[in-house]
Amino acid sequence: MAPGPEVSGIDIYLRIKPVQRASTRLAFDTTENKIKFVIPRNEAAGLVTNRRGHFEFRFNGILTAEAKQDEVFERVARPAVMGAMSGYNGTIFAYGQTGSGKTFTITGGPERYVDRGIIPRSISAIFSEISKRADQQFTVHISYLEIYNNEGYDLLDAEREIKAMEDLQQVHLGEADDGTVSYRNLSMYRANNEEEALNLLFLGDTNRTISETPMNMASSRSHCIFTIHVEGRKVGEDLVRRSKLNLVDLAGYQRVPKKGVDRTTHREAKYINLSLHYLKQVIIARQEKAMGMNRPHIPYRNSMMTMALKDSLGGNCRTTMVATVNSAQDQLDESISTCRFAQRVAMVRNTVLLNEELDPSLMIRRLKQEVRELKEEIRLLKGEEEERGPLTPDEITRLQGTRC
Ligand code: ADP
Ligand code: MG
Does the beta carbon of 101 sit less than 6 angstroms from any atom of ligand 1?
A: yes
- Reported as a single tens digit per residue, the pLDDT across 39-77 is 876 665 555 555 567 889 999 999 999 999 999 999 999
Pairing of β 26-29 and β 34-38: antiparallel
- Reported as a single tens digit per residue, the pLDDT across 283-297 is 888 888 888 888 778
What is the model's pLDDT at position 283?
86
Distance CA 271, CA 330 (A): 25
How does DSSP assign 135-157, residue by residue?
TEEEEEEEEEEEEETTEEEETT-
Does the beta carbon of 110 sit less than 6 angstroms from any atom of ligand 1?
A: no
SS3 state at 92: strand
Mean of all residue pLDDT scores within the chain: 86
What is the model's pLDDT at position 193?
97
List the residue whose alpha carbon is closest to atom 10 of ligand 1: 99
Query: Mean pLDDT lowest for which of 159-163, 172-176, 192-196, 206-210?
Result: 159-163
What is the model's pLDDT at position 250?
92
Residue 210 or residue 174, greater confidence: 174
CA of 379 to the centre of ligand 2 (A): 66
Using the 8-state DSSP alphabet, how is residue 228 labeled?
A: E
> Nearest to residue 346, comparing CAs of 283, 277, 391?
283
- Reported as a single tens digit per residue, the pLDDT across 93-146 is 999 998 899 999 999 998 899 999 999 999 999 999 999 999 999 999 999 999
Closest atom, ligand 1, to C-alpha of 98? 4
Distance CA 101, CA 70 (A): 15
Are the beta carbons of 52 and 212 closer than 8 angstroms? Answer: no
Residue 353 or residue 258, greater confidence: 353
For the cut 80, the answer to whether the pLDDT of residue 212 exceeds it is no
Does the beta carbon of 179 sit less than 6 angstroms from any atom of ligand 1?
A: no
What is the model's pLDDT at position 347?
86
Does the beta carbon of 103 sit less than 6 angstroms from any atom of ligand 1?
A: yes
CA of 394 to the centre of ligand 1 (A): 94
Strand partners, 320: 11, 92
pTM: 0.86
Average pLDDT estimate for 377-392 = 74
CA of 108 to the centre of ligand 1 (A): 8
Ligand (nearest to CA of 68):
1
Residue 193 or residue 179, greater confidence: 193
Are the beta carbons of 77 and 121 closer than 8 angstroms? Answer: yes
> Nearest to residue 201, comparing CAs of 112, 106, 113?
106
Query: Mean pLDDT lowest for which of 79-88, 243-252, 278-287?
Result: 278-287
Distance CA 184, CA 170 (A): 9
What is the model's pLDDT at position 340?
92
Per-residue confidence at 280, pLDDT binned at 50, 70, 90?
confident
List the residue whose alpha carbon is closest to atom 18 of ligand 1: 101
CA atoms within 13 A on the CB side of 132: 8
Q: Which amino acid is at 390?
A: P
Query: Mean pLDDT lowest for which of 4-18, 60-74, 165-179, 229-243?
Result: 165-179
What is the model's pLDDT at position 213?
59
Closest atom, ligand 1, to C-alpha of 16? 23
CATH 3.40.850.10 matches 6-358:
yes
List the residue whose alpha carbon is closest to atom 5 of ligand 1: 101
Residue-range domain boundaries for the chain: 6-358, 361-403
CA of 228 to the centre of ligand 1 (A): 24
Please report, for residues 31, 121, 220, 282, 305, the alpha-carbon distance to residue 308 in angstroms, rounded to integers and kept in the order given. 35, 23, 18, 12, 5
List the residue whose alpha carbon is closest to atom 20 of ligand 1: 101
Does the beta carbon of 9 sit less than 6 angstroms from any atom of ligand 1?
A: no
Phi/psi-derived region of residue 383, left when phi > 0, alpha when psi is between -120 and 50, beta in every other case: alpha
Please report, for residues 149, 152, 324, the alpha-carbon distance to residue 222 in angstroms, rounded to integers and kept in the order given. 8, 10, 17
Distance CA 348, CA 25 (A): 29
